[in-house]
Amino acid sequence: MQPPLARPGPGVHEHDTRLGSLIRANPLAILVVDAENRVEMCNAAFETLFGYREAEIAGIGIESLIVPPEHAEEAAALSRRGLDGQSSQSVTRRRRKDGTLVDVELTISPLGDGPATRTYNIYRDLTEQRRTEHHLRAQYAVVEALAQSSTIEDAAPRVLRGVAEAVGWQVGAMWIVDKTANQLKCIDLWRAAGVDARLFEAETRAHRFPRGVGPGRTWAMGTPAWIVDVTKAEHFSRRAGAQAAGLHAAFSFPMMLEGEVVGVVEFFTSTVLESDDTSLRMFAALGQQLGEFIGRSRTQEQFERFFTMSQDLLCIAGFDGYFKRVNEAWSRVLGYTAPELLAEPYMNLVHLDDRDTAQVEMARLATGDAVTMENRWRCRDGSYKWLFWNAIAKPEEHIIYAVARDDTVYQADHQLKETLKMRHDFVSFVTHQLRTPLSGIKWMLDLASNAENPEEAKSYIQDARESGDRLIGLVNDLLHVSRLESGKLQVILERVQLPELTQQVLRDVAALVREKGHKVVVDADPTLPDAMLDRELLQQAILNLVSNAIKYTPPGGRIDIRIFHDGDGLHWSIRDSGIGIPQAGQARLFEKFYRADNALTVDTEAVGLGLYLVRLIVERFGGTIACESEEGQGTLFHFAVPVAPGER
């Protein structure tokens, strides 16, 4: 342990020994000087900070020891004020024994009251504080540079400049690992104004370094590296350039992505600098951040490439009804430019007939379901294309990701094949259906011509006539269907009253009802408004439903017809106590030629066109039709039509 004020200069002995021990033990660097600024004593902290031993500087003027020439005047002024009895403070720089500079906060105070014969100088080392400030600035510079850039090439000049300026270095270079060549390639170099680093820049940009050489050493090691003075480092290949630019210390750190080095950043400064742990740690962290940015921007680039290359239509759309992004395939397929597509609510481009289903699917998307759908989109030239979609949404972000394929050719081909197949099926079906009654008629007429008496002949002719009626009925149905399907049937809208129309139908089938012994009850709302509909078509629809109820209900059954209206329009329903419809057949009931199994035995000659026709008619008037049934328990058919339908 040192004695207080050991080996003192003149006069210090007179001081309070307690003050002496305070100075000795103080963690701040303290120096006591006489009126001529000569060293009287210093403490251990001073020795550590400046590298001088007390013994070697005692009695020597401090200007020559620790004041850099550019601070001489300021130092003299501070010392004068101290000797005048005033304390003062300054943030400044002093020089160590080894010539390096150190940032300090200097306080000079007189020793004793009033004008003094000596002062004490307290130096607080600001190195750490400065370093922290520099680091913060460097980190901020990197964050800012990355936020403003989409690729590492964009970011490089900003990162190099920002970091170099923050830590006061003169040159920075960024290298990227070229995996194919297995070399480091310089992507950018930044140099401070006033530094003649042209040769160094040329050398750096021209050079490729393999792993283990130059910046490739940092690549090989995967950790930050420091060269105290490149002009003295044998292995430093760009020495000539560094010398010409007056660069000495060099520092490099790797850019890391998932544990792999993807690049290296180097900085050079004109002073000779020792490495320090906090800087190494901070730059290692920056390297991590830069590496991850490279990873992200590469993923982004890969995604962008697929996005542009894709032949499929890719898009990101908002729940607000607008596209956020579309790829080039959209313009190729539909003919719009990307800005045109982004400006238009996307539903406007969907074919009117497909919009309702599209809306339903959109609603499903909003609940997070993945959706596939097919719909027609209007092209710029007014034509339509079939798009087959796969879509999924991120409901919390109100965003839909979707891929669509132009399915027009497939659809056209598919539809053509379907049409040809249907035509073929239809022709063979109809041929069959017509041949049976026609053969029957021929057979009856043969019998009639060979009949032994006129009574017998008359009865055969009567049977032939009934078969003929059936045939006419079938041909009429087929004609109706074909005209309704092709839209060629002319619709005549007139005021009709559903109850009156129903009664008319019931009169036409009264004989049949009587024959089967059914009870028919009609419950019609007396306040029912007239409807604007085609009388003949509606009568046909009601007739088909009533005939079915009569036909598919065993003798002595009950048939209830209800006619009423509500906000949705006019409702017409018929309930019978008949054979019912098996569950499996109910979904296909309104298809052309469909017949349920249990109906085949009841009527062997029916063809399965009646309900299809009813559906075509009801839908033609913008209405809907439905059925409820249970096998053996009877059936309910129900249709609703608007009072004044928008004809479709």
- Measured from the CB atom, is 152 or 549 closer to ligand ADP? 549
By C-beta, is 290 or 579 nearer to ligand ADP? Answer: 579
- Judged by CB under 6 A, does residue 334 bind ligand ADP? no
Q: Name the minimum Å distance from CB 575 to ligand ADP.
A: 9
Tokens 């001529």 belong to residue: 36
Q: Tell me the two tokens of residue 253.
A: 């750190």
Backbone angles phi, psi at 481, to 5 degrees: -60, -50
For tokens 């569950």, name the residue: 583
Contact 326, 341 (CB under 8 A): yes
Assess contact for 151 and 304: CB atoms under 8 A.
Answer: no
Q: Which residues contact 75 (CB under 8 A, 6 or more apart)?
A: 62, 63, 67, 92
The binder of ligand ADP chosen from 279, 539, 548, 577 (CB under 6 A): 548
558 DSSP β-pair partners: 519
Closest to ligand ADP by CB, 401 vs 594, is 594
Lay out the site mask for ligand ADP across 565-604 (x = CB under 6 A, - = otherwise): -----------x-xxxx-------x----xxx--x-----
Minimum CB–partner distance for residue 579 and ligand ADP (Å): 5
Per-residue burial over 393-418, b if 16 or more Cβ lie within 10 Å, else e, is: beeeeeebebbbbbbbeebeeeeeee
Sheet order of strands, 399-406 included: 323-326, 313-318, 399-406, 384-394, 371-378
Q: Write each residue from 244 to 273 as x if it is in contact with ligand ADP (CB under 6 A), else as -, in one continuous string.
A: ------------------------------
Strands 569-576 and 635-641: antiparallel
Locate all alpha helices (DSSP H) within 487-534, ordered by sequence: 498-508, 510-516
Nearer to ligand ADP, 252 or 548 (CB): 548
Asked if 638 and 541 touch (Cβ cutoff 8 Å), the reply is no
* Interaxial angle between packed helices 535-551 and 498-508, expressed in degrees from 0 to 180 and rounded to the nearest 10: 50
Site for ligand ADP in 607-646 (CB under 6 A): 607-612, 635
Nearer to ligand ADP, 139 or 573 (CB): 573
**Burial state string for 372-381 with b = 16 or more CB within 10 A and e = fewer than 16:** ebebbbbeee
Nearer Cβ to ligand ADP, position 122 or 579? Answer: 579
Residue 269: which residues within 8 A CB-CB, separation 6 or more? 168, 169, 170, 171, 247, 248, 249, 250
**Roughly what angle, to the nearest 10 degrees, separates helices 610-620 and 535-551?**
150
Residue 474 Cβ vs ligand ADP, minimum distance, rounded to whole Å: 9
Q: How far is the CB of 513 from ligand ADP (least distance, A)?
A: 14
Count of residues near ligand ADP by CB under 6 A: 22
Beta carbon of residue 601, minimum distance to ligand ADP (angstroms, whole number):
11
The one segment of 108-116, 286-294, 311-319, 605-613 that binds ligand ADP by CB under 6 A:
605-613
Position of minimal CB gap to ligand ADP = 610
Nearer to ligand ADP, 50 or 552 (CB): 552
Rank residues 67 and 613 by Cβ distance to ligand ADP and give the closer one.
613
Instruction: Quote the CA–CA distance of 355 and 101 in Å, as a whole number.
Output: 76
Pick the closest to residue 209 from 170, 190, 230, 235 (CA basis).
235
Q: How far is the CB of 562 from ligand ADP (least distance, A)?
A: 15
Q: Which residue from 123, 377, 460, 552 is in contact with ligand ADP, where contact means CB under 6 A?
A: 552
**Shortest Cβ distance from residue 308 to ligand ADP (Å)?**
53
Measured from the Cβ of residue 282, the count of other Cβ atoms closer than 10 Å reads: 21
Smallest distance, ligand ADP to C-beta of residue 607, A: 5
Q: How far is the CB of 593 from ligand ADP (least distance, A)?
A: 8
CA nearest to 268, candidates 210, 216, 192, 209:
192
**Nearest distance in Å: CB 581, ligand ADP:** 5
The only residue of 273, 606, 617, 618 in contact with ligand ADP, by rule CB under 6 A: 606
CB of 563 to ligand ADP, least distance (A): 18
Nearer to ligand ADP, 348 or 431 (CB): 431
Nearer to ligand ADP, 413 or 603 (CB): 603
Do 598 and 581 meet the contact criterion of CB atoms below 8 Å apart? yes
Q: Which two tokens stand for residue 487?
A: 């839209």
Residue 58 CA to residue 21 CA, distance in Å, equals: 18
Which residue number, 603 or 647, has a Cβ lying nearer to ligand ADP? 603
**How far are the Cα atoms of 8, 40, 388, 458 from residue 59, in angstroms, in the given order?**
10, 6, 94, 156
- Comparing CB distances to ligand ADP, the nearer of 29 and 611 is 611
Looking at the Cβ atoms of 111 and 606, the one nearer to ligand ADP is 606
- Binding span for ligand ADP by CB under 6 A among 208-216, 366-374, 395-403, 606-614: 606-614
Region of 157-165, 294-302, 309-317, 544-552 interacting with ligand ADP (CB under 6 A): 544-552
Closest approach of Cβ 362 to ligand ADP, in Å? 35
> Residue numbers of the site for ligand ADP (CB under 6 A)?
544, 548-549, 552, 576, 578-581, 589, 594-596, 599, 606-612, 635
